[in-house]
Amino acid sequence: MILLSKASLWSLGSLDTTGAKTDTHWQPQRGRDHGLPGYNRWQRKCGLQPFMTFDSMSQVMRKGDINVFKRMYKSVEDIDLYPAGLAERGQNSLLGPTFSCIVAQQFNDLRHGDRFWYKNNQQLDHPFSTRQLAAIRAVGLASILCEHTTISSLQRNPFLVPNPGSCSRNNMGPRPARWKRHKILHV
């Protein structure tokens, strides 16, 4: 097991600015305990180019983070997923390419594994009319957040890096909460 200095832990986000421990420092060890593959293996799984040298990681990470990895690991093949994923910079996203791939795969698996997902063709009885399905498709996370919270300013796609928008009801699509209630089938 690698022993980390206070400076190394802080640079990986494991200590807050006051020096107090956060749960983050345990994540690489938990990943190892659960048999998670290393960072480069995830790169390959996601169809991304694995890194052959530490310096080649400059495509997605800051020099300071790469220097921490150089001190902590003997080889790029040894780097744990969690700290490397956190160190990645995203383009128009808060997540870098590896974590973006993993999160996208998780959403895809959740959606296609849910037999009640409204687009799932394996439903025995389709509970929505064609018009209602069109309205559902027009609703996004921004409209749901604006409808059910006190948020007053939000961009259309809240998954992108912030770009202030408006919660104007006119540009957020239909409001399914106003639909007439229909008989609900219970399984």
At residue 41, the pLDDT reads: 93
- The DSSP result for 85-127, as a single string, is HHHPPPSSSSS-HHHHHHHHHHHHHHHHT-TT-TT-TT-SS--
Amino acid at 139: V
At residue 65, the pLDDT reads: 93
At residue 1, the pLDDT reads: 34
**Residues β-bridged to residue 15:** 21
Whether 24 contacts 13, CB under 8 Å: yes
At residue 18, the pLDDT reads: 57
User: Helix or strand or coil: residue 177?
Assistant: helix
**Residues β-bridged to residue 136:** none
Phi, psi of 180 (to 5 degrees): -70, 135
At residue 160, the pLDDT reads: 75
Chunked mean pLDDT (size 10), the chain, 187 residues: 43 52 66 77 93 93 94 92 90 88 91 77 71 85 88 80 60 53 45
Mark out the alpha helices in 34-178 (DSSP H runs): 39-45, 63-72, 81-87, 97-112, 130-138, 141-148
Q: What is the pTM of this model?
A: 0.61
**What CA–CA distance (Å, rounded) separates 57 from 88?**
9
Whether 54 contacts 61, CB under 8 Å: no
**Residues β-bridged to residue 21:** 15
Amino acid at 64: G
